[in-house]
Amino acid sequence: MKIFLDTANLESIKKFNDMGLLDGITTNPSLLSKEGGNPKDAMAEITKIIKGDVSLEVVSTEYSGMMEEGKRLREYGDNVIVKVPMTPDGLKACKSLSSEGIPVNVTLIFSPNQALLAAKSGAKYVSPFIGRLDDIGQDGMHLIKEIKEIFSNYNFGTKILVASIRHPIHVIDAAKIGADVVTLPPVVLDKMLQHPLTKIGLENFLTDWEKLKAVNPDIKI
Ligand code: G3P
């Protein structure tokens, strides 16, 4: 399973990229807005740092605007995936951009039928938002199971990019289902790194090493 970071925060992107953890990045207008500053600088920097797929989202809601924006976004790099919303115009833009060799991520997917239609339109990725479904009392992970089954039945090449992830258990469940990608807020990836026994174990190793040093003052590893 690939791991993308769901952020426009350059510090977090550099931090996790330096650990070799990032296969890509997803952004959206809300994430860019959260960082402030000039979003064009952020998009240019992100596409430079990350070699894998970087999703950059259109803000037009009609076909011709999406096409123009999609092509402009693609100028940031060959690794740019144009993100379009799951609307009729979004699917039309998905078909046209995909036919021109520009890969598309169809976002704001909340049902198996929406995922099926986005795949038919040629999307490289579909982004089902599981946390937002959980938030309204629906089972977000069940949607991932259904999309996985449908895509497997027909050998669609479209990848399932699980979005709106809230906690590490979402990641484990998505991996068990066999989702292609999870896109994680930095706080979730931080939590995945940690375990209290790792912290305690390391403290014990260091305390024991200090005991050895007390009787071997010049010792070095
Ligand atoms: O890419 C954005 C998606 O992951 C939404 O996340 O937390 O705003 O529901 P959230």
Could you report the per-residue pLDDT of 26-54, keeping only the tens digit for each? 999 999 999 999 999 999 999 999 999 99
Task: For residue 5, give the H/E element and its range.
Answer: strand 2-6
Q: Distance between CA atoms of 124 and 63, rounded to whole angstroms? A: 18
- Nearest residue (by CA) to ligand 1, atom 3, is 164
Q: Distance between CA atoms of 162 and 141, rounded to whole angstroms? A: 9
163 within 8 A of 143, measured Cβ to Cβ: no
Q: Distance between CA atoms of 206 and 111, rounded to whole angstroms? A: 51
Q: In terms of C-beta density within 10 A (0-12 exposed, 13-18 middle, 19 or more buried), how is residue 107 classed?
A: buried
**Domain residues of the chain, as ranges?**
2-194
Residue 184: the pLDDT is 98
Token pair in block for residue 130:
């599981």
Residue 66: the pLDDT is 98
Question: In the chain, which residue ranges form alpha helices assigned H by DSSP?
Answer: 10-18, 29-35, 39-49, 63-74, 88-99, 112-120, 130-135, 140-154, 168-177, 186-193, 196-215
Could you report the per-residue pLDDT of 118-137, keeping only the tens digit for each? 999 999 999 999 999 999 99
Quick one: pLDDT band at residue 3, thresholds 50, 70, 90? very high
Could you report the per-residue pLDDT of 151-187, keeping only the tens digit for each? 999 999 999 999 999 999 999 999 999 999 999 999 9
Ligand 1 pocket residues where CB is under 6 Å: 6, 26, 28, 129, 131-132, 163-164, 183
Name which of 131, 132, 124, 88 is nearest 106 in CA terms.
124
- Nearest residue (by CA) to ligand 1, atom 2, is 164
Residue 97: the pLDDT is 98
The SS3 of residue 33 is helix
Could you report the per-residue pLDDT of 53-110, keeping only the tens digit for each? 999 999 999 999 999 999 999 999 999 999 999 999 999 999 999 999 999 999 999 9
CB count within 10 Å of CB 221 equals 3
The residue type found at 151 is F
Q: In terms of C-beta density within 10 A (0-12 exposed, 13-18 middle, 19 or more buried), how is residue 160 classed?
A: buried
Quick one: pLDDT band at residue 146, thresholds 50, 70, 90? very high
Residue 91: the pLDDT is 98
Q: Distance between CA atoms of 193 and 189, rounded to whole angstroms? A: 7
Distance of CA 43 to the CA centre of its chain: 15
Assigned architecture for domain 2-194 = Alpha-Beta Barrel (3.20)
Average pLDDT of the chain to the nearest whole number: 98
> Which among 35, 125, 129, 183 is the best mutation to test ligand 1's pocket, defined by most ligand atoms within 8 Å of the CB?
129
State the catalytic residues.
Answer: 83
Name which of 115, 123, 121, 124 is nearest 142 in CA terms.
115
At residue 115's C-alpha, the angle toward residues 113 and 121, to 5°, is 105
Residue 60: the pLDDT is 98
